[in-house]
Homo-oligomer: A and B are copies of this chain.
Amino acid sequence: VGSPKLGRTPPLTEDETLERIRHTLESGTQSVDLRDDAAVVDIPGGGSLVVSVDSVVEGVHVDLSLCSPADVGWKALMGALSDLAAMGARPVGALVALCVAPGLEEGAGEGGVTLGVMEGVAEASRTAGCPVVGGDVSSGGELVVAVTVMGTVDGDLPVMRTGARGGDVVLLTGPCGGSAAGLRQLRAGGGGERAAEAADQSWAYRRPVARLREGTTARLCGVHAMIDVSDGLALDLHRLANASNVGFDLDALPVADGATPDEALGGGEDYELVMVVGPADVDALIGAFTSEGLRPPLRLGVIADDPDHRVLHGEPLGQLGWQHRLG
**B4 lies within 8 A of A68 (CB):** yes
Distance of A134 Cα from B36 Cα, bound (Å): 9
Distance of A325 Cα from B112 Cα, bound (Å): 13
Select A45's contact among B24, B46, B70, beta carbons within 8 Å. Answer: B46
**Additional pairs, 7, CB under 8 Å, beyond known A5-B110, A39-B93, A43-B45:** A1-B67, A1-B186, A4-B116, A11-B102, A18-B137, A43-B46, A53-B136
Binary per-residue interface labels of chain A (305-327) against chain B in the complex, 1 for a CB within 8 Å, 0 otherwise: 00000000000000000001111
Any B CB within 8 A of the CB of A109: yes
**A126 lies within 8 A of B29 (CB):** yes
Any B CB within 8 A of the CB of A150: yes
| Shortest Cβ distance from A29 into B: residue | B126
**A60 lies within 8 A of B139 (CB):** yes
**A112 lies within 8 A of B9 (CB):** yes
Distance of A118 Cα from B24 Cα, bound (Å): 7
Number of interface residues of A (CB under 8 A): 107
**A17 lies within 8 A of B99 (CB):** no
| Shortest Cβ distance from A97 into B: residue | B146
Any B CB within 8 A of the CB of A27: yes
Distance of A310 Cα from B227 Cα, bound (Å): 55
Distance of A104 Cα from B3 Cα, bound (Å): 11
Select A21's contact among B29, B66, B102, B137, beta carbons within 8 Å. Answer: B137
Any B CB within 8 A of the CB of A14: yes
Knowing A9-B111, A53-B95, A59-B141, the reply to whether A122 touches B28 (Cβ < 8 A) is yes
4 A-B pairs with least C-beta separation: A46-B46, A2-B68, A7-B109, A45-B47
